[in-house]
Amino acid sequence: MPETENKLLVVDDQPDLCEFISEAARAMGFDTFAVSDPQAFRHAVEEFQPTVVVLDLQMPGVDGIELLRYLGERGSKAHVLVASGMDQRVLATAQQLGRSQGLNMLGALQKPILLEDLESTLRRCLRGESPLTLETLRAALERHEIEVYYQPKATRVAPGRWVIEGVEALARWHHPALGPISPVRFVSLAEKHGLIRSLTEQVIEVALRQCCAWEADGLQLSVAINLSPQLLNDLSFPDQVARMAAQIGADARRIVFEVTESAAMFDPGTTMDVLTRMRVKNFGLSIDDFGTGYSSLKQLYLMPFSELKIDTSFVRDIFAHDDARTMVETMVLLAHKLGLTACAEGVETQEILDFLDSVGCDRAQGYFIGRPMPGDRLGEEVRRWNAQHADASRSSQTSDSSHGS
């Protein structure tokens, strides 16, 4: 791949966060470089010459304001994005200080950083993004270039114990010439030009075969697959999916289709027909991004969902805003009252997982549980997580018994 005009430098003392930002940026076409100390940062600014700088405000030995001053003194033309766990007032002030230094401030993101927020912010300063044409996408589908990655989902099997029993299938595309292409780009192109069914069917087929492979390896995992709103208007789709599962030998009860709240409400009559037939054929149904759309609660309770996914925007703010905490707790209760499983997205820390445990949330998904990965790597990660949590559970039980004796 030719050298890109997009170069991102991230400075943070948290290796996991550096990796997260770098991975997301590379998927968008950036060259990336990560450092954790001020000396390495100054050297990288000179040698790497970034077009985008992502910096933390709080690091041992130096703070982000000093680094902003350094960039200003060097006359840096890079876009600067501040990332911090500090409150919004501090972030706003930091941005103002950066502007006063003559810097091109891109904005500020509060930790834990959401992938969609990071991608949306970085996209604003992406230079010379490689053209993506309909012909390129059509050729990729014909060659089966679209890969499927899987993000683990943990289930609360007992108070304080979370076991990975499912995954979400996510489409990924690394073009041999254009490099990594964001799903935001190729999914929207597929929807615009009538290729979304072909794309979705390829993802479903790969995911069904992977589900069977895991089962043969002793892993019984459910697989969630996202459905485009366009497919909810296709009355033939339920039969097609059922045929695919039967031909591959996959258990329909292990497959869950995720539908966004807004998509479900676009054409409620046809959608209810399609979704009900999916349930009749034993597939699970999850309402995704709940709380962010403009839905009718009456329509929602009439539709045959089996799971309610609480949107990341609520989960990430549970320790910053009392209202967000109340909303998450209320949505868990609503799901249970409607006989649905509650799943929280955007779980990035142990503290968030502990809160979800305390309110009885059934499932959790996010980078703290696991990142998207190829199917052949997932088994090892699932076994490692589940073994650790089984050990933790046994240790807790042993401790409780010893206290009681």
Residues 176, 53, single domain; the answer is: no
Residues 200, 270, single domain; the answer is: yes
For residue 12, the domain's CATH number is: 3.40.50.2300
Q: How many domains does the chain have?
A: 2
> Has residue 401 been placed in a domain?
no
Residues 119, 149, single domain; the answer is: no
Residues 204, 258, single domain; the answer is: yes
Residues 306, 240, single domain; the answer is: yes
Pick the last residue of a domain from 123, 145, 176. 123
pLDDT of res. 395: 45
Pick the last residue of a domain from 61, 94, 123. 123
- The tens digit of pLDDT for each residue in 381-401 reads 999 999 988 655 444 444 444
Show Cβ contacts of residue 100 under 8 Å, excluding neighbours closer than 6 positions. Answer: none
> Has residue 56 been placed in a domain?
yes
Q: Enter the pTM of the model.
A: 0.71
Residues 219, 244, single domain; the answer is: yes
Reduce the secondary structure of 314-378 to three states and give it as a string. Answer: HHCCCCCCHHHHHHHHHHHHHHHHCCCEEEECCCCCHHHHHHHHHCCCCEEECCCCCCCEEHHHH
Residues 145, 275, single domain; the answer is: yes
pLDDT of res. 3: 44
Residues 217, 141, single domain; the answer is: yes
AA letter at 378: L
Enumerate residue ranges in the chain where pLDDT < 50.
Answer: 1-3, 393-405
> Has residue 404 been placed in a domain?
no
Residues 168, 108, single domain; the answer is: no
Pick the last residue of a domain from 123, 157, 191. 123
86-125 per-residue burial string, b: 16 or more CB within 10 A, e: under 16:
beeebbeebbebbeebebbbbebbbbbbbbeebbebbeeb
Residues 71, 146, single domain; the answer is: no
Residues 157, 304, single domain; the answer is: yes
Residues 111, 154, single domain; the answer is: no
For residue 220, the domain's CATH number is: 3.20.20.450
What's the domain range around 226? 134-390
Residue 83 Rama label (left phi>0; alpha psi -120 to 50; beta):
beta
pLDDT of res. 155: 97
